[in-house]
Each structure stands twice: as structure tokens, then as C-alpha cells.
Amino acid sequence: MIKIKLSDLLGKNKMSQKSLAEIAKIRPATVSKMYYEEIKRIDVKHLNNICAAFNCQISDLLEYIPDEKQKSE
């Protein structure tokens, strides 16, 4: 599973979803879906814009967590 850590970044930087949407030039609905980890696909351009807005690495935004099924095999 891929965990989207956007809520952590917004909290650490005291930024609203709306502000990020404006800075990163991403639709507010898309930012919201990322925030609640409901998004199915992420555009690389969006990842780039978010990393630029927070001056962070992609690993600060996304984290891979192995599924329980894969762990047991």
C-alpha cells in the first residue's frame, strides 16, 4: 500500500488544502482526495508541484507499506 502523507506535510507547514491547491496549481478537489488518501492515480506533475511547494523529497510525501498478505508469504 502507498501511504500519502499530505496531511502530515500540511500540518507541519501550517498550510491549508486551499493554499496548497493555489500554490501547486492543483484543483482543490484533487488535493482533498490526496489528503484523505482516496485518490486512485496521481499525476507526476502534481507530485512535482507539491514537492516544490514544500521544498521536500518525494519520500516525504509518499511511503510504501507492505500489505499484510505479502508479509506473510
In order along its 73 residues, the chain shows pLDDT tens digits of: 999 999 999 999 999 999 999 999 999 999 999 999 999 999 999 999 999 999 999 999 999 999 887 655 5
Give whole-number Cα distances, 22 to 2, 6, 44, 46, in Å: 25, 15, 17, 12
Q: Domains plus CATH for the chain?
A: 2-66 (1.10.260.40)
- All 3 cell numbers of residue 3? 501511504
User: What gap in Å lies between CA 62 and CA 72, rounded to an integer?
Assistant: 23
pLDDT reported for residue 67:
86
